[in-house]
Structure 1
Amino acid sequence: MASRRHLAATFLPLASMYGVKLHKARHGALWRYVTLWSYAVKLPKARHGANAQRQDIYRSLLQQSSDGKLKKGSISDLAAQYGVSTGTVSRIWHLAKLQAYNGSTIDVSSKMPKVVGRKRLQIDLNQVSQIPLRRRTNIRSIAKSLSVSKSTLHRRIKEGALGPYTNAIKPDLTHANKKSRLEFCLSMVTRPSLSSNPTFYDMFNVIHIDEKWFYMSKSSKQYYLLPGEDEPLRTCKSKKFITKVMFLAAVARPRFDALGNEVFSGKIGIFPLTKMEPAKRSSKNRVAGTLETKPILSVTKEITRSWLIEKVLPAIRAKWPWDHTGPIFIQQDNAKPHIDVNDIEFLEASSRDGFDIRLCFQPPNSPDLNVLDLGFFRTIQSLQEQEVLSTIDELVSDVQTSFDRMQSHEINNVFLTLQTCMKEIINVRGGNNYRVPHIGKGRLERQGNLPIQIECDENMLDEAVSYLLQ
């Protein structure tokens, strides 16, 4: 699209063709007509020219020059060709000649971006670290503390100068808790041979179990809508009493053959803590006496024992790899409804059919030492929340479907993350003041270099043992 000046240059021959005498006044009038017409067709402004265009103009000037002098009419011809003013072409030529005379690099780029427009507001980011953390929870509060606008601060965030971080509250650990966490992590370290580095145990014979509430819906959900699109209407009798169901999940580490094919998925099962009760009254949906699924809202040791013996143990016997030998450990947390490791009924049931299944406890206040709390439940919940549910049966079915949809390589990645967390726990002497490390498991898996066990630094292990002996 031509510029306004180029459009005027196009109109001049037409005016001459029709016998219009272009006196100064009439030329001005013609220019006003041309300007109004250019605004009507919304021509872009090209007053200064893009830098690439200015370079092209300079190269064309060089081609039409001889011994540093231009041919007559070169400037006006190039101005009409590129749709810029003759003054712009002339300034490009004189600027290049001046730079050549001074021996500097020829640069005919426009200087206007450096001298026009709004100046960038400088923010001393060192001031951000001086702002209390309680005042750094939203953009409005930080902007007020820095005395800048929210839009300016938001641009710095988009540039990466500042970034949001999600901070989750962690259990308050006593000295005894830290010691037990450190001892637990050290007990998982093994040395395959004297010449090899110490690594974490592969954990192929450990089953992690835990319970979690899954809700029918959330009190607040985020949607991405088109402009003018109506937001969904979600209703509930009370936000404090959204229907929920507790599930008992059991997972082990998956196994793959030498070619990477799945041999064992690691998914033992996820079992809803529900019961069937007859309806007390008739309604538009069912008559009185119809069996309905009801959640068990109070879980006791008896219920936990029953679910372990009647659901978890049969699932282990049915799905566990047939070539495995040795004991199988079921790791649980220290919740009150969990049974003791020496529970007589469980020991009798776990020793049947040639299996040796044992219970063990993880350290107190240590959800980061259970793969379910570490990332498994979060993945299932994100899949489950993508559905619209209205009954408990739909919630149970959807959670079980989400459990089945989870890929085995994702479970294996969580077990590797557990080992990296154990390494960090040893490094911080049993504390939980660390960030979950990332080793690029997806990239390593694509390259075929994903490890089975995470290595440990021997000096770090020696320092941890010395700390325990103090």
Structure 2
Amino acid sequence: MGDRTCIIDLARMLNLSPSTVWRLIKRKVLKAHSSPLCPGISETCKMTRMRWVLRLIMDYSIPHDPTYYGMFDVVHIDEKWFYLTQKSQRVYLANNEPKPHRIGKSRTKIPKFMFMEAVARPRWDDDGNCEFDGKLGIFPFTNSAAAKRTSKNRVKGTLETKPVKSVNQIATRAMMINMLIPAIKEKWLPHVGEKVIYIIQDNAKAHIMQSDPEWQQHYKQDGFTFVLTQQPANSPDCNILDLGFFRSIQSLIHKKMPKTVEDLSGAVIDAYKELHPKTLSNVWMTLQYVGNEILKHKGDNNYQLPHNKKKILEDEGNLPEQVKAPIWAVNECTQLYDEWKANQ
């Protein structure tokens, strides 16, 4: 593949002129492709991914009409670094417009903040109005510290926002207990009786488990029961935030062009609030289609991200709330997992 990375190399390999290759690209005989670096998937991980997707399918719908749960009692959380700026920023200029000159102290030490984000599936009423936008909150891992000396930017004693240097279990536990749980209780739709909320997180070392002693003191509050659940290892495609929502936020942040770390924190929160609930709702739909791809490929991640023309289906009134899984894939994966489990 190394001799296909540019048009000139490709033309040399095909024994054609670069202009001919360019015309083939314009005619869509050839196409450019960005090949992402995907996590390695072991056999055990494949089985875990298959089992995780199968558990998202309603039991009573198997095997004749396998259909995914609505996932309205699920919250996805994840952490992400947001940088003050990019090393390279593309902009479009007029012919005689001067080129922007951006400066920074170091290209390798761009200021950054880590945020924890939590989302649920948005809800819509019969008239198409949004009852619940699904955005539970985005929380920065920061603290405030007084400046130790005077500089050209501030005087001594001025409170400055500083990122938490080490995001460990202590920091994430405090964030979930003090910020996440109150946000869910405040924003969740009214319910009758006990409400069980499943919080999906990845397998980072900084994350706590359901058996964490301090978490056990807080996981039941005011009619809510919060259950921590881990997604499969090496599976960012199983998390709503990694699947697409983080990218949407990142694109909005770059448009705001923050200048300081305080501006960055505000820009991230503003971008999070500005995203339309439909964007989040579409990612939840994509998660179900990704589940189908995982089943079709027997737990592997060697597939193209599915695009199912959700906008067209929505305009036609045919966008399903719950996606159906292919019967053959469900049956084959169930049998394959049972055989693998029996041999362990």
TM-score (norm 1): 0.70
SS at 1:309's partner residue? helix
- The letter for the 2-side match of 1:293 is T
Cross-structure match for 1:268: 136
Cross-structure match for 2:234: 365
Cross-structure match for 1:251: 119
CA deviations on 1:343-390 (whole Å, 9 max, x unpaired) are 122222221212111111001111000010000000000011112211
Q: How does 1:163-178 map to 2 (within 5 A)?
A: 163-178=31-46
CA contact (8 A) 1:208 1:331 kept: yes
2:277 equivalent to 1:393: no
SS at 2:105's partner residue? coil
CA deviations on 1:387-424 (whole Å, 9 max, x unpaired) are 22111110010110000011111111101100001111
Cross-structure match for 1:428: 297
CA displacement at 1:180 relative to structure 2: 0.6
- The letter for the 1-side match of 2:24 is R
Alpha-carbon distance in 1 for matches of 2:266, 2:28 = 42
CA displacement at 1:288 relative to structure 2: 1.1
Pairing partner for 1:337 from 195, 198, 206: 206
CA contact (8 A) 2:77 2:116 kept: yes
CA contact (8 A) 2:144 2:159 kept: yes
Alpha-carbon distance in 1 for matches of 2:200, 2:330 = 24
CA deviations on 1:190-233 (whole Å, 9 max, x unpaired) are 15568971101111111000000100001111111222321110
Cross-structure match for 1:145: 13
TM-score (norm 2): 0.95
Q: How does 1:112-131 map to 2 (within 5 A)?
A: none
CA contact (8 A) 1:347 1:358 kept: no
CA contact (8 A) 2:73 2:196 kept: yes
- The letter for the 2-side match of 1:426 is L
- The letter for the 1-side match of 2:298 is R
Cross-structure match for 1:299: 167
- The letter for the 2-side match of 1:271 is F
* Equivalent residue pairs, number: 338
Cross-structure match for 2:152: 284
2:247 equivalent to 1:378: yes
SS at 1:161's partner residue? coil
- The letter for the 2-side match of 1:346 is W
Cross-structure match for 2:81: 213
Alpha-carbon distance in 1 for matches of 2:85, 2:27 = 35
CA contact (8 A) 2:73 2:197 kept: yes
- The letter for the 2-side match of 1:137 is T
CA contact (8 A) 2:136 2:183 kept: yes
Structure with the largest fraction of helix: 1
Pairing partner for 2:321 from 452, 461, 464: 452
**Could you list the runs of 5+ residues in structure 1 that have no partner in the other structure?**
1-132
- The letter for the 1-side match of 2:286 is T
Change (3 A) 1:157 1:283: same
- The letter for the 2-side match of 1:316 is I
Cross-structure match for 2:50: 182
Cross-structure match for 1:47: none
CA contact (8 A) 2:66 2:330 kept: no
SS at 2:191's partner residue? coil
- The letter for the 1-side match of 2:128 is G
CA displacement at 1:257 relative to structure 2: 1.1
- The letter for the 1-side match of 2:86 is K
Q: How does 1:86-165 map to 2 (within 5 A)?
A: 133-165=1-33
Identical counterparts, % of pairs = 42
Alpha-carbon distance in 2 for matches of 1:281, 1:141 = 56
Alpha-carbon distance in 1 for matches of 2:159, 2:59 = 56
Alpha-carbon distance in 1 for matches of 2:20, 2:63 = 57
CA deviations on 1:74-108 (whole Å, 9 max, x unpaired) are xxxxxxxxxxxxxxxxxxxxxxxxxxxxxxxxxxx
CA displacement at 1:147 relative to structure 2: 2.6
- The letter for the 1-side match of 2:328 is N
CA displacement at 1:340 relative to structure 2: 1.3
Alpha-carbon distance in 2 for matches of 1:167, 1:402 = 28
Cross-structure match for 1:407: 276
Alpha-carbon distance in 2 for matches of 1:297, 1:452 = 41
SS at 1:397's partner residue? helix
CA displacement at 1:330 relative to structure 2: 0.6
Alpha-carbon distance in 2 for matches of 1:453, 1:249 = 24
CA contact (8 A) 1:350 1:357 kept: yes
SS at 1:356's partner residue? strand
Cross-structure match for 2:109: 241
CA contact (8 A) 1:191 1:197 kept: no
State the structure with bigger RCO (CA 8 A, min sep 6), 1 or 2. Answer: 2
CA deviations on 1:129-170 (whole Å, 9 max, x unpaired) are xxxx22111112111212323222112212211111221111
- The letter for the 1-side match of 2:94 is L
CA displacement at 1:323 relative to structure 2: 2.4
